[in-house]
Amino acid sequence: MHTSNQNAILQVCSKTSLSSAILLIAVSGSSLAPGQIKTLVAFGDSYTDTTAMADGGATWPTYAAGYANVSLFSFAKAGATCSNNLTSVPFPPVFGSQLPTYFADLSNGTLPDLPPNETLYTLWIGTNDVGSSALLTGHGAPGVSLVDTVSCAVNWVKTMYVSGARNFLFQNMAPLQNTVLYSANSYPNFYWTAERNTTEWNVFMSEMTRAGNKLQELMLEALVPSLKDAHLGLFDSYSLFEDMIANPATYLNGTAALNITGCAHSCVYQLNESTADTGICTIANGTDRDSFLWYDELHPSEQTERNIAREIAEVIEGKQNQWTRWLA
C-alpha cells in the first residue's frame, strides 16, 4: 500500500518536473526570430550612453549593434535617473528628457520609420537612482523609495508600448556593491570625497540592488497580461556581472593581471577634497585595460561592455541567451 502510494507520488512528481522543465525551456528560449530585428533603440544612463562614454572607450550598444549588424539609436545620457521628480540630479532623466527627445525625433523625421516588429527597445537604468546623492544617501524626493524608482522604470515599458513599440529588453541593475565606489574597501574618489561608512554603504547597496531587481521582475511579470502581441525580455545584468566576477579569465583578456576589485582608472582623493582636483591617479593603458572588470570607481570597463554587448547581440539575432528570460 505504501509502496503503491509512493510510486504514484513519484510518477506525479516526475511528470510535474518534466512539465516544469519544458515550460522553463519555452520561457527561456528566444522570443525574437533570427533576422527579425533591424534597429536597436537604447535608453539609460552612463552605462549605455554612446556619446559621453564613461568606460574609456565605446559602450555596449555600439558593440552590440555592430556584432548583430543592426542600426542603433541611443537616447541614454550619463548621470540619468528614471525621473528627476523622484531623485533629482542635474542630468537628463528617462522621463522628462530622453523619452520626450525620442518622441520629438520620431515626430519631426529625425528618426527614420521604425517598424514595431523590427525594432528592439532597451532600458538599463537604476545605477544613479539608488546611488550616492540619491536613495543611498537619503537625497530622494520626500517619501520616495526604491518601490517608486523601480515603478518608474517599469512604466517605461508601458509608455513605449502605448506608443506602438512591441519588442523590449529590460536590463536589471548590476551588483553595484562590487564597484569600487560602493565596496567595503572604498576610498575617497571622484564620485564621493566626504566621510562615510564604507561597510554600511556596501551592505545597503547590496540590499537595494537585490531588492530592486526582484521588484522589477515581479512588476514586469504583473505587467505582461496587458502587453498584447508584445515581446518582453528580462536581461539579468546582475547575474552576468556575478559570473564575470567568479570567472574573470573567461571574460577578461588584457595583458595585465586580471582584476575584478580595482579599476583601470583609479584616482584617490583626500577626504573632502574638491572634485575639481584630480587626486592621485593610477591608470592602466593600452591592452592592460582589458584586464579590469571596472574602468573607474563606478563604471564597467570597455572589455566588460564588450561582454555585455555579445550577450545582447545574441538576443537581437534571435538566439537563445542564458542571461535573458522572456516574460512575454
How far is it, in rounded angstroms, from Cα 106 to Cα 282?
A: 44
Chain CA centroid to CA 159, Å: 19
- At 274, the pLDDT band (50, 70, 90 cuts) reads confident
pTM of the complete model: 0.90
Domains and CATH numbers, the chain: 32-174+193-237+302-326 (3.40.50.1110)
Residue 73 parent element (H or E): strand 71-74
| CA dist., res. 198 & res. 70, Å (int) | 42
**38-75 pLDDT, tens per residue?**
999 999 999 999 999 999 999 999 999 999 999 999 99
Rounded distance between C-alpha atoms, residue 12 and residue 113, angstroms: 52
Could you tell me where the DSSP H helices lie in 229-325?
237-246, 248-251, 302-316
pLDDT tens by residue, 114-154: 999 999 999 999 999 999 999 999 999 999 999 999 999 99
pLDDT digits (tens, 9 = 90+) for 216-265: 999 999 999 999 999 999 999 999 999 999 999 999 999 999 999 999 99
